[in-house]
Amino acid sequence: MAAAAAPVWDEHQAYEELLYWDSLIQQGHRLHPHDFDRYEELRYWYDCLCYEEELRQYHDYIAAIEHMEDKRYREAGPYDRYVLAKHSEVYPPTEELEAVQTIVSHVECALKTVSDQMDAPKDDERVLRGVMRVGLVAKGLLLKGDKNVELVLLCSNKPTVTLLKQVAEKLSAQLEVEMSA
């Protein structure tokens, strides 16, 4: 049996539909569970597009900086060379930045799956509403060797210790599944 092909998105139509759902939510309307699932699917698609674009822009930026540094290093005076050398000591290499971004993306995707698992079909509101990057990773200010990044998990109700333990268990299990795949 052949595997089902991934759905083909009409990006303009999908974006218009996402704007429509966003406007309903901003007006205070509550979405039906199947509409909310569609909204979440579109939001995830759009977030992935934005991430890919940011990553492309980042690579372009790094390439431009490296080109400018090479040019400046050849034309730079002794103090400029010193500053550039210090910058290269504290700024993480591309591989390290990409590794951090990959890990954060895996955790975000795993949290989305955990959110889907925790919601019962009868619920109108999701228990876990979303995840946000905060701190150094959100601002792009990581230094060489930074291994700790911060994510904030948004909940529909005040979080409890029980909820924290549930999320931690399910997240650990989901990350193991993703890493073994």
Return the pLDDT at 116. 87
Return the pLDDT at 164. 93
Return the pLDDT at 122. 61
Residue 65 in contact with residue 97, Cβ under 8 Å? no
pLDDT at 24 over 80: yes
pLDDT (average), residues 8-18: 82
pLDDT at 48 over 80: yes
Q: What is the pTM of this model?
A: 0.55
Position with higher pLDDT, 144 vs 3: 144
Position with higher pLDDT, 94 vs 161: 161
Give the model confidence (pLDDT) of 77-90 as tens digits.
777 778 878 888 88
124 DSSP 8-state letter: S
pLDDT at 132 over 70: yes
Instruction: Name the one residue in this structure whose structure tokens are 């230094």.
Output: 143
pLDDT at 167 over 90: yes
pLDDT at 100 over 70: yes
pLDDT (average), residues 127-132: 89
Give the model confidence (pLDDT) of 28-40 as tens digits.
888 898 888 888 8
pLDDT at 64 over 80: yes
Q: What is the DSSP string of the chain?
A: -PPPPPPPP-HHHHHHHHHHHHHHHHTTPPPPHHHHHHHHHHHHHHHHHHHHHHHHHHHHHHHHHHHHHHHHHHH--HHHHHHHHHHHHHSPPHHHHHHHHHHHHHHHHHHHHHHHHH--TT-SS-SEEEEEEETHHHHT---TT----EEEEEESS---HHHHHHHHHHHHHHHHHHHH-
Per the prediction, the chain carries an average pLDDT of 84
pLDDT at 121 over 80: no
